[in-house]
């Protein structure tokens, strides 16, 4: 994984991206029961709504993937830069809230993931392929959340050694700069529509399997490859050993995020993320790259000191993006006690100190992009907004 581990800069304009932070209204009661989040609530009360994108349950990509792709100008329309929006009055906020429902389901992120993993995308179509576990239900197949597979590096290497010749026999190039995530290259991949693993996880995989984007037909070549890999792995020693330990077998492969690398914009000067797609986009844009620290205070320490909002100014410093994905796995697994614990940690480690920094005018601007499993909501708050006591937006009002 390519990274720049120490990024020295003063953080005056901060954007927090929070995948899976907004449960559905139906899940809100178990997800948020007894959750104390006064700092986040205060930030949301005073913030200006910049953009609200309403997706649907049948989009094949994830909302935070679409958001990050649009920010960097990948895919179709570029997203508005949330931290640069001027929407301080209620009417502008209301217009932002009525943003049209998203029809764009484009997030061709595989070449950028390959770049982040240490590969060379070149001018070619790439798709990401990951080993997965597919479970047999009563009358259908269900994709298990990928994090539960817990595949070791050695096991992944052994499984790839079996799958690689099957893939290459189809005339498809294979790149595996990291054993746990592989990449296939071939022009026919560019015509497929596929789903992110976390989109299909826990669901009947029938409608989420790759198909030809223009005809809806299943690609025979991919179906043949998937079947051959499944058979080759069925009694593989790796899977036999895993099942003996009570672990799920790696019994299939999942293709997603296919596309060709294109030039990107640079919406952020500094990017801190563990997600391969976000890291690859940062590398392609020339942004400084690091992994997120554990806390906001640690971010400020790494930045080499604090800068007052007055000194920083809105136009003299770049935006720092921090992607905090602690909520993703418990959300997808619907492990609500774990979800609440992760949310409480974000409140303690990020929201509360960021609120304090705004109040002390050490932050000129804080943007929040909160994602559900279908859409995104972006808000921005500045020190002057903390005095706007008449604003009363609630967290519940943002739930899909």
Selected residue with higher pLDDT from 101 and 34: 34
Alpha carbon distance 171, 249 (integer Å): 27
Neighbours of 61 (CB within 10 A): 24
Mean pLDDT of the region 144-151? 90
What are the pLDDT digits (tens) for 269-297?
Answer: 999 999 999 999 999 999 999 999 999 99
Contact 53, 67 (CB under 8 A): yes
Per residue in 20-37, pLDDT tens?
Answer: 999 998 899 999 999 999
CA nearest neighbour of 263 among 53, 45, 75, 48: 75
Strand, helix or coil at 321?
strand
CA-CA distance, 69 to 195, in Å (whole number)? 15
Asked whether residue 220 carries a pLDDT value surpassing 90, the answer given is no
Q: Which residues contact 240 (CB under 8 A, 6 or more apart)?
A: none
Distance between CA 343 and CA 370 in Å, rounded?
A: 12
Rounded Cα distance between 337 and 325, Å, is 16
How much is the pLDDT for 135? 92
Q: What is the pTM of this model?
A: 0.90
Residue 60 Rama label (left phi>0; alpha psi -120 to 50; beta): alpha
Is there a contact between 257 and 113 (Cβ–Cβ < 8 Å)?
yes
85 pLDDT higher than 60? no
- 248 pLDDT above the threshold of 90: yes
Domain annotation for the chain: domains and CATH numbers: 13-106+264-398 (3.40.720), 122-260 (no CATH)
Q: Interhelix angle for 38-46 vs 352-359, to 10°?
A: 50
> What is the C-alpha separation between 125 and 122, in angstroms, rounded?
9
Residues 21 and 328 sit within 8 Å (Cβ to Cβ): no
Residue 100 CA to residue 85 CA, distance in Å, equals 17
Distance, in Å, from the CA atom of 325 to the CA atom of 349, rounded to the nearest integer, reads 14
Mean pLDDT, the chain, integer: 88
Distance between CA atoms of residues 317 and 308, nearest Å:
12
C-alpha neighbours within 13 Å on the C-beta side of residue 194: 27
In contact, 276 and 113? CB cutoff 8 Å: yes
Strands 252-260 and 125-132: antiparallel
């Amino acid at each position: 994984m390519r990274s720049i581990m120490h990024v020295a800069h003063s953080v005056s304009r901060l954007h927090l991206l929070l995948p899976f932070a907004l449960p559905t209204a139906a899940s809100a009661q178990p997800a948020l029961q007894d959750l104390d989040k006064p700092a986040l609530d205060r930030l949301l009360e005073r913030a200006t709504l910049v953009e609200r994108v309403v997706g649907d349950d049948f989009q094949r990509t994830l909302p935070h993937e679409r958001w990050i792709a649009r920010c960097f100008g990948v895919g179709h329309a570029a997203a508005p830069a949330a931290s640069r929006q001027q929407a301080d009055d209620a009417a502008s906020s209301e217009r932002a809230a009525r943003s049209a429902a998203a029809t764009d389901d484009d997030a061709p992120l595989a070449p950028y993931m390959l770049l982040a993993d240490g590969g060379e995308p070149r001018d070619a179509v790439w798709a990401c392929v990951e080993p997965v576990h597919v479970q047999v239900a009563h009358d259908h197949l269900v994709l298990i959340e990928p994090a539960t597979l817990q595949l070791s590096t050695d096991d992944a290497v052994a499984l790839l050694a079996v799958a690689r010749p099957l893939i290459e026999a189809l005339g498809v190039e294979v790149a595996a700069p990291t054993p746990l995530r592989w990449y296939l290259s071939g022009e026919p991949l560019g015509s497929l529509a596929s789903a992110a693993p976390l989109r299909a996880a826990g669901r009947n995989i029938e409608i989420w399997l790759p198909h030809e984007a223009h005809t809806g037909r299943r690609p025979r070549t991919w179906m043949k490859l998937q079947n051959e890999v499944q058979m080759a792995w069925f009694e593989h020693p790796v899977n036999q050993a895993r099942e003996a330990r009570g672990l799920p077998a790696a019994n299939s492969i999942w293709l997603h995020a296919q596309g060709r690398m294109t030039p990107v914009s640079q919406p952020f000067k500094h990017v801190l993320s563990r997600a391969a797609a976000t890291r690859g986009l940062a590398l392609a844009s020339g942004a400084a790259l690091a992994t997120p620290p554990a806390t906001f205070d640690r971010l400020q320490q790494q930045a080499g000191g604090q800068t007052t909002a007055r000194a920083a100014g809105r136009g003299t410093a770049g935006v720092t993006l921090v992607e905090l994905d602690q909520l993703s796995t418990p959300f997808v697994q619907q492990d609500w006690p774990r979800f609440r614990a992760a949310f409480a940690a974000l409140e303690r480690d990020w929201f509360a100190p960021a609120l304090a920094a705004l109040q002390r005018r050490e932050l000129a601007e804080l943007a929040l992009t909160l994602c559900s499993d279908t859409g995104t909501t972006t808000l921005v708050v500045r020190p002057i907004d903390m005095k706007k006591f008449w604003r009363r937006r609630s967290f519940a009002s943002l739930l899909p």
